[in-house]
Amino acid sequence: MQPMSIQISLMVLLAGYLLFMCWYGGKARPLQEAEIQDFYTRIHRLPLTAEDRAILTQLRPMLEQDDGREFIMQNLVRYRKRAQYPEGYAYDENPIAADHRYGKLVIPYMLKRASHPIFFSRRSGKFVEPGSSEHWHMVAMVRYRSRRDFMRFALDISGKDIAVHKWAAIEVTQIFPTQAIISLVHVRLTLALVVLTSTLILLNFS
């Protein structure tokens, strides 16, 4: 390759990485009370399911504790024995299939705001369990760029016949935000290594 071509390629790689870092974010201004109230006002204008309304009663404390940073939402799920769709929906009774339909539909809305799943796991046995604990079937962890983005994502999918698949599948769920202390999932570092490797390859051709 010609030196000029290599320089242009390196500049494109660097520019792409910087653009990704800006988009992926992870540190923003914390939510203000006026923003929180605006989210609630907009949500209450939408057609909400009973499950949605129950969640709204527990949502405000999470928003009021916002620090503006990225977070990981921990989802513990117990499926129904049979999917329960409202009248008028012609789907089978497989709860796993219903949950998969939900997942396929929400991914584009999540990626739009630099949010994405990082871990899914199905239960494979029993170990230490308090007698009063729920029998969870699945654990999921989802990265959100911020709580502001989480709320915008929720508004994006509201009223689009998307959440209906989730609630048809799930009997009980426990959801709470977490902050990573130690994590082996490093999207930024992985991409940086890809850029570095590509740079070394290009330089090797010079």
What pLDDT, in 10s, does the model give residues 102-148? 999 999 999 999 999 999 999 999 888 887 778 899 999 999 999 99
Strands 170-178 and 116-122, sheet pairing: unpaired
Q: Are 113 and 153 in contact (CB under 8 A)?
A: yes
The C-alpha atoms of residue 51 and residue 169 are separated, in whole angstroms, by 12
Q: What's the predicted TM-score (pTM) here?
A: 0.89
Q: What is the enclosing helix (H) or strand (E) of 148?
A: helix 147-157
- Picking from 180, 84, 182, 79, the residue whose alpha carbon sits closest to that of residue 122 is 79
- Residue 2: predicted pLDDT: 64
Question: What ranges do the domains of the chain cover?
Answer: 31-183
CA 100 – CA 115 distance, rounded (Å)? 18
Which fold is adopted by the domain 31-183?
Answer: Alpha-Beta Plaits (3.30.70)
